[in-house]
Amino acid sequence: MPEGPELHLASLYVNKMCNGVVFTGPVRKSEVSKSPDVPFTCEAYRITATSRGKEVKLTLTPMKSDDTKRKAKKGQADQPMDVVFRFGMSGYFRFTTEDELPKHAHLRFYSTEKPCRVLSFVDARRFGSWQHSGTWQPSRGPCIMFEYKSFRENVVSHLSDRAFDRPICEVLLNQKYFNGIGNYLRAEILFRLNIPPFVAARTVLEGLESEDFCENEKPVKNEIADTKTSDGTEHKRVKEETGDLLRLCHTVPLEVVSLGGKGYDPEKADYSDFQAWLQCYYVDGMKSVRDHNGRTMWFKGDPGPMAPKDSKSPKAKKRTKKEDDHDYTDKKKVAKSRSASSAKKKAVKQEAVTKTPKREKDARPKEAKSKRGKTDKPLKVNTARHEKRSTARRRGSSNAGPTAAGGLRRSRRVTRPNGK
């Protein structure tokens, strides 16, 4: 989930769910988490949230009480504390009753409610992190959504930075300049402007002004015009996006925010709106290649001059040694055995804490290129009916597969929503 829009939706979720709720006691961390303990405990405090780019900050505010004046009990906080979170690949917040704690709830805030409810930072992969008494990470630039003006100025005034020597698609992931842009957003943004992903960033950006002169232009609705070409293939022509690249880095993420909860609230695990919103990322018919950092770049048309020279011979990687395979990752599937009886301590299977070494990569280059004429597949499969994503599922280039941002599991939509 986590790109700028999801982090912001997470902050809205926290503010909505925790409005009026009183929290109490210490902040609790899971056994397996490597992030720092949060040294905060208070009889009664409130929680509010804000977001900036790809970070969310929770503010824990002690409530006034008689105790406060009487010099609260030792250890009790009387000053607010900020905890800054980064979501990694799988982080999110959930507010549930105590007995419905989600799996992987690594940091928890307990309310004073009767059936106690808990605000949890949930993160299955644990790539996320938090820092107490924190501030926004200094190395990250202004938020693309809510600090638009300074975001623009920061980019435009630093175009001489060597960072802009790289392909635009890779620079868009540089959080020092594009705090909030992630893998699906870079694809959607470049796609809207038809910018080849592997063109030098400076080339694409030079000439843009610090000021956004489009700001007041009415957002011309993107018209979609279906046209038939000689070969009978149906094409959809996207009519002019308003604004330059930097403006789209601001408006496109905001479109996701406006989609609402669907994008975030895992509760209603309904990502259909989000899926329908995607025009390029993981969309059937689009191309994809690994960028120089091993991340999949989705695009249409020309990849651009700086495209990876197919260099990475993924296959050359060969098997990784076999020797070490003894991961003692005791997989005790949570046998939902409802041993309601006493001892609840050990019952809670902990995530493996073994330090077992060597496991394979996450983003490792894979098969590449497989040029294929556009021949078959006139991408107009609305006939469907039972249509199980039966479509070819070649990786490395040219098209989709399952699972993606926001959980784009299952079949991919093949036709644009507004395409007729």
**Residue 113 appears among annotated catalytic residues:** no
Q: CB neighbours (10 Å) of residue 42?
A: 27
372 vs 247: CA distance, rounded Å: 35
322 is catalytic: no
Under the binding rule (CB under 7 A), the answer on residue 125 touching DNA is yes
Q: Which of residues 61-100 bind DNA (CB under 7 A)?
A: 86-90
Residue labelled with tokens 């001489």: 160
Q: In this chain, which stretch among 150-158, 206-214, 215-223, 395-403 interacts with DNA, using CB under 7 A?
A: 395-403
Among 39, 260, 305, 402, binds DNA (CB under 7 A): 402
Half-sphere exposure of 104 (CA within 13 A, CB side): 13
Other beta carbons within 10 angstroms of residue 371's beta carbon come to: 6
Q: How far is the CB of 182 from DNA (least distance, A)?
A: 2
**Stretch of 106-114, 199-207, 216-224, 387-395 lying at the interface with DNA (CB under 7 A):** 387-395
Which two structure tokens, joined as six digits, stand for 13? 């979720």
Query: Min. distance of Cβ 145 from DNA in angstroms?
Result: 14
- Closest separation between CB of residue 203 and DNA, Å? 18
Q: Of 29, 54, 57, 262, which one is the catalytic site residue?
A: 54
- 12 belongs to the binding site for DNA (CB under 7 A): no
Stretch that binds DNA, among 65-73, 113-121, 182-190, 231-239 (CB under 7 A): 182-190
* Per-residue tokens: 104: 């992987």
3 is catalytic: yes
Name 335's Cβ contacts closer than 8 Å, sequence gap at least 6: none
Q: Which two tokens stand for residue 72?
A: 């609260």
What is the smallest separation between the CB atom of 119 and DNA, expressed in angstroms? Answer: 20
Q: Which of 3, 55, 188, 351 is catalytic?
A: 3
User: Per CB under 7 A, does 413 bind DNA?
Assistant: no
Smaller CB separation from DNA, 80 or 88: 88
Q: What amino acid occupies position 127?
A: F
Question: By CB under 7 A, is residue 8 in contact with DNA?
Answer: no
Per CB under 7 A, 172 contacts DNA: no
**Candidate list 19, 135, 157, 293; residue touching DNA; CB under 7 A:** 293
Q: How far is residue 102's CA from residue 97's CA, in Å, rounded to a whole number?
A: 10
Based on CB atoms, which residue is closest to DNA, 64 or 359? 359
Does 173 contact DNA by CB under 7 A? yes
Q: Which of 52, 126, 132, 262 binds DNA (CB under 7 A)?
A: 126
321 belongs to the binding site for DNA (CB under 7 A): no
269 binds DNA per the rule CB under 7 A: no
Applying CB under 7 A, the span of 66-74, 146-154, 201-209, 288-296 interacting with DNA comes to 288-296
- Is the CB of 51 or the CB of 175 nearer to DNA? 175
CA distance 349 to 405: 29
Q: Which of 124, 193, 224, 254 is in the footprint of DNA by CB under 7 A?
A: 124
Residues 324-383 that bind DNA (CB under 7 A): 329, 351-352, 357-359, 361-364, 366-367
In the block, tokens 């980019």 appear at 155
Among 50, 129, 279, 399, binds DNA (CB under 7 A): 129
Tokens of 375: 């021949």
Rule CB under 7 A: say whether 164 interacts with DNA. Answer: no
Listed ranges 74-82, 218-226, 235-243, 401-409: which one lies at the site for DNA (CB under 7 A): 401-409
Token pair in block for residue 210: 């610090």
5/243 with CB nearer DNA: 5
Residue 141: both structure tokens together: 């630039």
Can residue 294 be called a binding residue for DNA (CB under 7 A)? yes
Handedness of CA 135, 141, 147, 153 (dihedral sign): positive
Active site positions, annotated = 2-3, 54
Which residues make up the interface to DNA (CB under 7 A)? 1-3, 6, 34, 54, 86-90, 103-104, 124-127, 129, 137, 173, 175, 182-184, 292-296, 312, 317, 329, 351-352, 357-359, 361-364, 366-367, 389, 393, 395-396, 401-410
